[in-house]
Amino acid sequence: MTKKELELTGAILYKCEGTKLRRDKRHLNANTFYYQIDFTNSEPLLVKLWLEFLRRILKVKEEKLRVSLHFYDDLDKNKLIKFWSFLTKIPDNQFYNEKSYRAKNLKYKPNPLGTCKIRYIDKKMYLKLNKIIKKKLGDEASLIK
């Protein structure tokens, strides 16, 4: 995939599955925000594409990447961590805050891989991501209004 294609892919992926800018309510200043880049999905291919964008385009620091998993209680947490660690090439010591949920509807078979959240906290990278989104998708798609 070319750099231009990957930039467009990353912009679209984040607008669809990324966490939007949120105010930090711990501060009295109304203009204090969380500049965390969160992308959540259960589809391994989309998670891999997102990480390719982070690594090739944003050039993130590997040690700052974090992974959080959400899954139903009939799944094996350790197997999920092993799977997602292998897929993402992120060591399991960078996984945190795994959450297991009890299935409400036993007829429904939840995703066997759970949901994977990739988190990167860095204001400079968030602003760089916003610039790419504006360039590729237009001003109205901007993360920061």
Give the pLDDT confidence of 101-114 residue by residue, as tens digits. Answer: 877 666 666 688 99
pLDDT, tens digit, 9 for 90 and up, residues 35-59? 889 999 999 999 999 999 999 999 9
Q: Give the tokens for residue 94.
A: 């960078």
Question: Of residues 30 and 37, which shows the higher confidence score?
Answer: 37
Query: Are residues 14 and 5 in contact, defined by beta-carbon separation less than 8 angstroms?
Result: no
- Give residue 125's domain range: 3-141
Max Cα-Cα span within the chain: 48
What is the number of structural domains in the chain? 1
**Distance separating alpha carbons of residues 127 and 125, to the nearest angstrom:** 5
